[in-house]
Amino acid sequence: MPRYFGRKLLIYGLTFFVAVTINWMIPRFMPGDPVQSMLARANIAQPEAVEAMRVHYTDLFGFDLPLWKQYANFWAALFRGDLGISIWLFPTPVADVIARAVPYTLGLLLPAVLLSWVAGNRFGAFAARRKWLDNTALPIGYLLTATPYMWLAILLAWGLGVVAGVLPVAGAYSFAIQPEWSWDFAGSLLQHWLLPFASLFLVAFGGWAIGMRNMIIYELEADYVRYLRSLGASGRLIRRYAFRNAILPQVTGLALQLGVLVAGALVTEIVFSYPGLGHLILQAIQNQDFFLLQGIFLFIVVGVLIANFVIDVAYVVVDPRTRVGMGGAA
Amino acid sequence: MTGVRNALRVALRNGKLVAGLAVVLALLLTALVVPATIAYGPNEYVGPAAAPPSAEYWFGTTTFGQDVFAQFAYGLRATFLVGLLGGGLAAVIGMAVGFTAGYRGGLVDEILNMITNIVLVLPALVVLLIVNAYLGVRDVGVQALFIGLTSWPWAARAIRAQTLSLRSRDFVDLARLSGMRTPGIIVREIAPNMSSYLFMTFILLFGGSILIAASLDFIGLGPSQGVSLGLMLNNAARWSALHLGMWWWFVPPGAGITAVVGSLYVVNVGLDEVFNPKLREM
């Protein structure tokens, strides 16, 4: 087991290293001069102001230093938690801007991912090999998992928000109230949370249900199932065994799907102007705030790495083979 | 020949495969033929502003009087193109890495596996956000290139696992004994024995590329020239089609993406059942 975790940690460490290096490299080695293009976008007429900005940006990127030193400084700043200053919300540090948005993204993403995973697996296992359910649920599942997250979000916002007028379609809480510890505010938060949550949940649910259904079908053809059947075991018992075997690839699948789920949350937030990381990304792109964009990039990578590690631990818990070093799917 | 005919018969009797293929082909035909029949470009201001669907403009018009149906047809083109190029590139990289790692084993496998795992853990869309924001993407080709470069790892892993299980079979040993070189063995002995698997992997990569491209376009990092279904969604959201109740602006592009990707997935299940008799309905 130490070897299993050692390997995983090595990969995550290397991934973090690669991510930081990408982050450092892209602005420096892209065609053209980032400082020049920022100045051009700022669109300032006075030469003194342009010169002041050029000095400011060159200093910020540290372009006047030798490359290795720029790289070392980049890492040093990172370990101090310094991700630079946001240009869009000047002069707020990028780390603060991100810290303000993260609770919203996590509050949306974590429940949606976990609940859809649990519910999707249960439903998929239930539907498998039940002809009627299989034939109705399966097409719906494929339709859901093929739906672009933002489109389902738009449809829900339009149907339930604009046409029916039941739920709000923008923001994380009513613009009429201030964030505070009160029932009013909590209710407003919940109301605004429902639609983005529902659209994330539904798309992910379809994927998990399909995955589970396909796994169970393979499992139900396995030799141990035949053996159980020949012993006269009940269908319920057989399904329970099949489920326990089929859940393992789904745990791995959760790790594999993390990137897609995060991406889904980002675009869903954009649809609902939900003030999480997705909304920040949109603002960063529209305002050419590259420091903010890069900070968010690093933050999401670290988040995904941590989540991967948590899933690795969970895998060891659910698969006894990894504990005694017999391998299993690593 | 009877083998092929037999396989075709099984395939044509599979409802999922036939239905999925029918939808994909119908949309592909729309993408290929319809743009040629429309006299104006997808972004030209041709009709009345914000008109609902009518006999003249089947899908209505945008706030600016652009024909939504024309945009849809051209957008489908971009969607298929990004799927083909992005999915194709990812499949090629995935196969190259997967076959090499699985067949060679040893240190080569260790290194390739490490690289695969690193790219696998990096969230593709977020990497693409950074790359596209800095480099800017002008056309669908460049977008597909970046998508292909980031979405191959799971395919490489799956192909590697399959190769590992085929590597020690007798016919591979025989080929090796007869002096065949490694690339020859991979291309002529191993790949044909998992061709159905490779084809299904390509279909999934195809669908995945389309969805990633749609997300990028929606965020506003799509190709700066031309139309795509994702860009249509982006425009509809930006000009608040939602609040103006202009459903004909945002329903078709999303439905197009869902139809293409969803029916590809259904085709995949159908193929799986055709290739794997165990899975057919009892």
Contact criterion met (CB < 8 Å) for B126 and A262: yes
How many other CB atoms are found less than 10 A from the CB of residue B3? 7
Question: Tens digit of pLDDT for each residue in B45-59?
Answer: 877 877 888 877 888
- Whether the pLDDT of residue A330 is over 50: the answer is no
Question: Tens digit of pLDDT for each residue in A205-242?
Answer: 999 999 998 889 888 888 999 999 999 988 889 988 99
Interface ipTM > 0.90: no
pLDDT score of A328 = 46
SS3 state of residue A17: helix
pLDDT score of A117 = 95
Residue with token string 């097409």: A139
pLDDT score of B172 = 87
Which percentage of chain B shows pLDDT scores above 90? 40
- Whether the pLDDT of residue A314 is over 80: the answer is yes
- Which token pair is A273? 């102007």
Residue with token string 């197009």: B256
Query: Are the beta carbons of A70 and A63 closer than 8 angstroms?
Result: yes
pLDDT score of A72 = 85
Q: What distance in Å separates the CA atoms of residue B65 and residue B217, rounded to the nearest whole number? A: 21
| Chain A residue nearest residue B247, CA to CA | A158
Contact criterion met (CB < 8 Å) for A267 and B127: no
Mean pLDDT of A46-65: 72
Contact criterion met (CB < 8 Å) for A304 and B123: yes
Mean pLDDT of B89-95: 96
Query: Are the beta carbons of B48 and B61 closer than 8 angstroms?
Result: yes
State CA B241 to chain mean position distance: 28
Contact criterion met (CB < 8 Å) for B123 and A270: no
- Whether the pLDDT of residue A183 is over 60: the answer is yes
> Which of A 266-295 lie inside 8 A of B, CB atoms?
266-267, 270-271, 281-282, 285-286, 290, 293-294
Mean pLDDT of A48-73: 75
Contact criterion met (CB < 8 Å) for A15 and B118: yes
Sequence-distant (≥ 6) Cβ neighbours of residue A112 within 8 angstroms: A197, A200, A201, A204, A261, A265
Q: What distance in Å separates the CA atoms of residue A118 and residue A113, rounded to the nearest whole number? A: 9
Residue with token string 């239905």: B19
Q: Does B117 touch chain A (CB under 8 A)?
A: yes
> Which of A 303-322 lie inside 8 A of B, CB atoms?
304-305, 308
What are the distances in angstroms from CA B67 to CA A252, B40, B243?
45, 9, 20
Which chain B residues are Cβ-neighbours of A217 within 8 angstroms? 279
- The helix (H) or strand (E) run that includes residue B182 is helix B182-184
- Whether the pLDDT of residue A32 is over 80: the answer is no
Q: What distance in Å separates the CA atoms of residue A199 and residue B267, rounded to the nearest whole number? A: 25
pLDDT score of B279 = 67
Report the mean per-residue pLDDT for chain A.
84
> Which of A 76-105 lie inside 8 A of B, CB atoms?
none
The H-assigned helical ranges of A163-289 are: 183-219, 223-230, 235-271, 277-286
Domain B78-226+252-280, CATH number (from 1.10.1370.30, 3.40.630.30, 2.60.120.260, 1.10.3720.10): 1.10.3720.10
Q: Does A128 touch chain B (CB under 8 A)?
A: no
**Phi-psi map region of B76: left, alpha, beta (phi>0 left; psi -120 to 50 alpha):** alpha
Question: Tens digit of pLDDT for each residue in B96-116?
Answer: 999 999 988 889 999 999 999
- Whether the pLDDT of residue A92 is over 90: the answer is no
Q: Does A158 touch chain B (CB under 8 A)?
A: yes
Count of A-B CB contacts under 8 Å: 159
> Which of B 125-144 lie inside 8 A of A, CB atoms?
125-127, 129-131, 133-135
Phi/psi at A81 (5° precision): 75, 20
| Chain A residue nearest residue B261, CA to CA | A146
Contact criterion met (CB < 8 Å) for B123 and A258: yes
Q: Does B277 touch chain A (CB under 8 A)?
A: no
Question: Tens digit of pLDDT for each residue in B253-269?
Answer: 999 999 999 999 989 88
**How much helix, strand and coil, in percent to the nearest 5, is found in chain B?**
75, 0, 20
Mean pLDDT of A152-160: 91
Q: What distance in Å separates the CA atoms of residue B274 and residue B15, rounded to the nearest whole number? A: 11
Mean pLDDT of B196-212: 93
pLDDT score of A306 = 93
Which chain B residues are Cβ-neighbours of A148 within 8 angstroms? 211, 214-215, 218, 230, 233, 254, 257-258
Q: Does A173 touch chain B (CB under 8 A)?
A: no
Pick A301's closest partner by Cβ from B122, B134, B243: B122
Contact criterion met (CB < 8 Å) for A12 and B269: no
Query: Are the beta carbons of A98 and A299 closer than 8 angstroms?
Result: yes
Q: Exposed, middle or buried by CB within 10 Å (0-12, 13-18, 19+), for B143?
A: buried
- Whether the pLDDT of residue B165 is over 80: the answer is yes
The H-assigned helical ranges of chain A are: 2-29, 34-42, 47-61, 67-79, 94-127, 131-146, 149-156, 183-219, 223-230, 235-271, 277-286, 290-318, 320-323
- Whether the pLDDT of residue B281 is over 60: the answer is no
pLDDT score of A133 = 82
Burial profile B243-276: b = 16 or more Cβ within 10 angstroms, e = fewer: eeebbbbbbbbbbbbbbbbbbbbbbbbbbbbbbe
pLDDT score of A227 = 92
Query: Are the beta carbons of B1 and B255 closer than 8 angstroms?
Result: no
Mutate to test the interface with B, among A256, A267, A273, A282 (most CBs of B within 10 A): A267
Pick A158's closest partner by Cβ from B131, B133, B247: B247
Phi/psi at B61 (5° precision): -130, 165
- Whether the pLDDT of residue A61 is over 70: the answer is no
> Which of A 40-59 lie inside 8 A of B, CB atoms?
none
pLDDT score of A38 = 66
Contact criterion met (CB < 8 Å) for B121 and A12: yes
Pick A151's closest partner by Cβ from B121, B127, B233: B233
pLDDT score of A264 = 93
Contact criterion met (CB < 8 Å) for A301 and B126: yes
Mean pLDDT of B75-84: 94
- Domains contained in chain A, CATH given: 2-79 (no CATH), 94-325 (1.10.3720.10)
Nearest-CA distance from A297 to chain B in Å?
A: 6
- Whether the pLDDT of residue A121 is over 90: the answer is yes
Range in A254-263, B130-139, B251-260 the model is least confident about = B130-139
Contact criterion met (CB < 8 Å) for A151 and B250: yes
Which percentage of chain B shows pLDDT scores above 70? 97
How many other CB atoms are found less than 10 A from the CB of residue A186? 12
Mean pLDDT of A315-326: 75
Nearest-CA distance from A103 to chain B in Å?
A: 19
pLDDT-derived band of residue A329, with 50, 70 and 90 as boundaries?
very low
